[in-house]
Structure 1
Amino acid sequence: MTWLRKPWVGPLAFVVVAFVAFSLPPYLTGDRLQARVQSDWGPHYPLLVMHVVFASVAIITCVVQIWPWFRSRFPAWHRRVGRVYVFAGVLPAGLSGLVIGWMTPFGPVAVVSTVMLAVLWLWFTALAWRAARRRQFRDHRKWMIRSFTLTVSIITNRIWGVFGFLAFSDRVPEEQLPWVLAGISTWAGWVVPLLISQWWLERKPARRGAPVEQRETVPV
């Protein structure tokens, strides 16, 4: 079957589902104390819950959207899921992330990184949507790859956090450690994957006239 020719789909879907299954439930209880990020700022918790819920929608739907077999086999559903990704995922998650990023308790380095991530996430997704509406499908694909990269960067963020802890837990005073780890993970979590995705786009451009590309050219 053609979908088996993309062996990365299954592992990626498994990682995403496992990550959402671990990250989302504490924010569905309504218990502020179960939030993994605590802040004294009153609106922080409801905005954090909003961000986590809608970001979960975004990360699940984006896996479906980049699945080549699904795009070519079900173009109408690709359009519908795309609307969910944009309007019930990235848009509310990005806007709420912009606010809670500005109010993060982890210091100015994390503030700048998180705000930049939210702005770029919204921007890349908007450009991908606009390109699809204009039937500029090669540009749509490129912007969606960048949007997808930022969507799943929350997972790599956690990985860099683990490396940062192992490297600096014995070298940094305990009261400063959260700021150091946040600075490392928030920047490396999205900058490194974005640079890799850009390298991949420039090194392996879409082939002109490829059958899959033709089947993917459906209006949004």
Structure 2
Amino acid sequence: MKPAINTWFKAALYISFAFFCLLMLQITGKYIPLGTDTAFLQIKQSEVHTYAYYLPFFYIHVYSAIFCLPAGFTQFNYKLLKRNKKLHRLIGYLYVGIVLLLAAPSGLVIGWHANGGPVAILFFSLLALLWFWFTLKALLTAKNGEYKAHKHYMMRSFALALSAITLRLYKVIIVKIWAPPPMDVYVLVSGLSWIPNLLFVEFLIRYQTAKRKVYI
């Protein structure tokens, strides 16, 4: 019975992730071709016309972050790790390169111009900094052969990458249930989009570590 439940759970997880990846791809597609007033940029006209760097960094973030989701997800595929370590390593380097060189730095820049004021700016900036740090630590621990620590840092990094999905999910839920002013929504999702993800992963890491000690 338990293997069947695990199979159904994994299937539901893969289907849900594929659905949200397609949704993110659709959102990204709105920004092709490049424009100065497309979708979200309609409410960022002040930044677009005041800061010459804003638009390039915005598009770097939009176009790079979408690749982090599938690339990061494959890193937790046990079969891929065992059967094709070279492919696992290659995709891992792709994920790390995108995060460290493109997605996280650009996220920090646009985070400084986040809607919602100082609180939203603080949370989005912390998100970008922690994403960079955990990803860098994942790379360094892998190079040092500390594979358990590498796995844990990758879990933390990917939890923050998933904020692209959870941000939009919480945004829809908050608007549907409470319908607060738009700027209040940004303040709420600036923290909700990633803090619960990270807390869940920290719980999971500690649970797995404690469980492993029981069997030793």
Q: TM-score range by the shorter chain?
A: 0.7 to 0.9
For residue 25 of structure 2, the aligned residue among 21, 26, 29 is: 21
In terms of mean alpha carbon deviation, does 115-124 or 89-98 score higher? 89-98
Structure 2: distance between partners of 1:74 and 1:47: 35
Structure 2: distance between partners of 1:144 and 1:59: 12
Q: Give the partner amino acid of 1:75.
A: K
Gaps of 5+ in 1: 209-220
For residue 187 of structure 2, the aligned residue among 150, 158, 183 is: 183
Name the counterpart of 1:55. Answer: 65
2:117 pairs with 1:107: yes
- CA shift at 1:30, angstroms? 0.7
Q: Give TM-score, length-normalised by structure 2.
A: 0.85
For residue 162 of structure 1, the aligned residue among 125, 147, 172 is: 172
Q: Give the partner amino acid of 1:186.
A: S
- CA shift at 1:204, angstroms? 1.9
In terms of mean alpha carbon deviation, does 28-37 or 10-19 score higher? 10-19
Equivalent residues, number: 201
Q: Give the partner amino acid of 1:18.
A: L
Structure 1: distance between partners of 2:55 and 2:196: 29
For residue 88 of structure 2, the aligned residue among 40, 54, 78 is: 78
Name the counterpart of 1:200. Answer: 204
Structure 1: distance between partners of 2:156 and 2:16: 16
For residue 38 of structure 2, the aligned residue among 34, 39, 45 is: 34
Q: Secondary structure at the match of 1:36?
A: helix
- Residues 110 and 187 of structure 1 are in contact (CA less than 8 Å); yes or no, is this contact kept in structure 2? yes
Q: Give the partner amino acid of 2:182.
A: P
- CA shift at 1:12, angstroms? 4.5
For residue 119 of structure 1, the aligned residue among 116, 119, 129 is: 129
Q: Relative contact order (alpha carbons < 8 A, sep ≥ 6): 1 or 2 greater?
A: 1
Structure 1: distance between partners of 2:17 and 2:80: 13
Q: Secondary structure at the match of 1:126?
A: helix
Identity %: 26
2:151 pairs with 1:141: yes
- CA shift at 1:185, angstroms? 1.0
| RMSD between aligned residues | 2.2
Structure 2: distance between partners of 1:89 and 1:122: 7
- Residues 16 and 59 of structure 1 are in contact (CA less than 8 Å); yes or no, is this contact kept in structure 2? no
Q: Give the partner amino acid of 2:151.
A: R
In terms of mean alpha carbon deviation, does 126-135 or 197-206 score higher? 197-206
Distance 1:181 1:64, change over 3 A: same
- Residues 129 and 140 of structure 1 are in contact (CA less than 8 Å); yes or no, is this contact kept in structure 2? yes
Which one has a larger percent helix, Structure 1 or Structure 2?
2
In terms of mean alpha carbon deviation, does 5-14 or 21-30 score higher? 5-14
- CA shift at 1:122, angstroms? 0.3
2:107 pairs with 1:97: yes
Q: Give TM-score, length-normalised by structure 1.
A: 0.83
Structure 2: distance between partners of 1:144 and 1:164: 29
Structure 2: distance between partners of 1:105 and 1:160: 16
